[in-house]
Amino acid sequence: MTVIVPKPDGAQKVGKPAASPASEFVPPYPFRYEQMPPVWTLIGLAKRNFLSIWGLDDFQSRLRNKKIFTRDLVICNRPDVVREAFQTNHEVLQRKSPQMRHALAPLLGDGLFISDTETWAKRRKIVAPIIHGSRVKGFAPIMIDTIDEKRADWAKLGDGAQIDALAEMAHLTAEIISRTIFGRQLGKDYAAEVVQGFSEYQRHIDQIDLFSLFGLPEWLPRIRGRSVKKPVKRIMTVLDEIIDSYDAQKQKGEASVIGGLLEARDDDGNPLSRDAIRSEAAVIFMAGHETTANTLAWAWFLLSQCGRARKKLQDELDTVLAGRTPTFKDVASLRYTKAVVEETLRLYPPVPILAREAMADTTIGGKRFAKGSLVMVVPWLMHRNPKLWSKPDVFDPQRFLDPKAKKPNKYGYVPFSIGPRICAGLQFGMTEAILSLAILAQSFDLKLKEGTDVQPVARLTLRPGDCLPMTLHPRRA
């Protein structure tokens, strides 16, 4: 059987089967072509939406190699080659893609997210412990209080109120990360200013840096140079103010990431420079808020379209929590809630492409690739690879709970990346997402506004378009 799947330009084209019984929900994904279009068409598609460039074969493949002008583009799409690229060959493949570095360097400087070699190793050793899983219990009360404030705000809106669930989740996670980094009070005071600076910055950057893709020299000035200066200055001014007022806050005995950064010492006993502290605070803010926000927005969308999953989630919340607000201890018992988050991250990984630039010649899957090659792990593809997942396009949280369900190993499910550069905030992000969903879904049902067409769009992160109009409905006790 064949199905009609929408083409990015709105025309229709015949794709491969996505047949599934009516009880199964297949959420939207962009057109998948059968024959690779010319490279200019691909670049045009990529500029609009990076998810539209993949053909049916790309999802099934193990190791693919495409030549884009002078550069080799290597796509690792099975656990064995992902392991080889990101774990075994980490030394050679630890450098982020030129596109990623150019897009983020004006804001993040030499921050952990885009640095490599010695700088990265030094910073990772200092920053990772500050947000490590073992610290999440201490951050959980900030998360819970902030989510509870959102619940109270929603309660005031009344039954049927219309919200933009994407903006609401972005606001919630920005407040949480801001209060975590800067402390409760400073975080509250400055969250809006920092968020505006980041949004303004993001409007100016574009992950598809064509210069770099064509292999033009690193020193060539990038077009966006001047336009991002203003938002960067705005963010840095706020960070400076916060750092300057840290001592006063510290006296109130408050824990914060910025405090951890200010007090950190390297192996030689030296503190981080002011620049380094600003860069790492910006990294954690950037890495830690939009990713979780997009996950939550997608989860609301998926739950709104799949009554069975919604009911199971609500049943779990009603049984485990029996009406009380969850604590950190409850997270371990919210197994279905966690499975909803995991399945959301499988279908719509917030970072859909993980790209590295080879720092020297390297070998993957027995093939040799030259220095400068772009090596990618694409969670968007691998999480829907039919060789790894049964019914890969179907939304089914149960697959993460059923011991008999087909699941690939840890190199086949990589929403947080894998290897030494794995997300430093994995436990933080998972806990935050589970608590947010639990507290808000306990009290509200969210319905998609009628007539809304939701399509995944990937720029720097994967989102359900620019907004997600939904209506709020308080749940009866």
Binding positions = 423
| Total binding residues toward ligand HEM, as defined by CB under 6 A | 26
Q: Which of 417, 449, 457, 467 binds ligand HEM (CB under 6 A)?
A: 417
Residues 6+ apart with CB under 8 A from 314: 441, 475
Contact (CB, 8 A) for 373 and 72: yes
Identify the burial level of 209 via C-beta atoms within 10 angstroms of its C-beta, where 0-12 means exposed, 13-18 middle and 19 or more buried: buried
Query: Per-residue contact track with ligand HEM, 345 to 384, x per CB under 6 A?
Result: x----xx--x------------------------------
For ligand HEM, the binding residues in 278-297 under the rule CB under 6 A are 283-284, 287-288, 291-292, 295
When the beta carbons of 358 and 472 are compared against ligand HEM, the nearer one is: 358
First to last CA, the chain: 45
80 Cβ contact list (under 8 Å, min separation 6): 62, 365, 411
Return the amino acid letter for 139: F
Please choose, out of 224-232, 300-308, 326-334, 414-422, the segment that lies near ligand HEM by the rule CB under 6 A.
Answer: 414-422
Under 8 Å CB-to-CB from 388, ≥6 apart: which residues? 78, 79, 382, 406, 408, 412
Q: Which of 33, 50, 113, 369 binds ligand HEM (CB under 6 A)?
A: 113
Q: Which residues are annotated as a binding site for heme?
A: 423
Measured from each CB, the residue nearest to ligand HEM is: 425
Residue with tokens 């109130």: 252
**Which is nearer to ligand HEM, 342 or 445 (by Cβ)?**
342
Q: What single string gives the DSSP state of each residue in 209-229?
A: -HHHHTT--TTSPPTTTTTTH
Distances (CA, A) of 131 to 158, 258, 259, 442: 36, 11, 12, 27
Nearer to ligand HEM, 146 or 471 (CB): 146
The yes or no reply on residue 412 touching ligand HEM (CB under 6 A) is no
Q: Which of 140, 428, 438, 458 binds ligand HEM (CB under 6 A)?
A: 428
Please list every residue from 156 through 215 that binds ligand HEM, using CB under 6 A.
none
Q: Which of residues 291-330 bind ligand HEM (CB under 6 A)?
A: 291-292, 295
User: By CB under 6 A, is residue 144 in contact with ligand HEM?
Assistant: no
State which residue, 392 or 425, has the beta carbon closest to ligand HEM: 425
Within positions 58 to 97, which residues make up the interface with ligand HEM, using CB under 6 A? Answer: 96
Residue type, 65: N
* φ, ψ at 271 (rounded to 5°): -75, 165
Of 76-84, 248-256, 427-435, 467-475, which part binds ligand HEM (CB under 6 A)?
A: 427-435
- Cα(148)–Cα(125) distance, rounded to whole angstroms? 33
Cα–Cα distance for residue pair 12/33, rounded to 1 Å: 11
Please give the residue ranges that form the binding site for ligand HEM (CB under 6 A). Answer: 96, 112-113, 124, 131, 283-284, 287-288, 291-292, 295, 345, 350-351, 354, 415-417, 421, 423-425, 428-429, 433
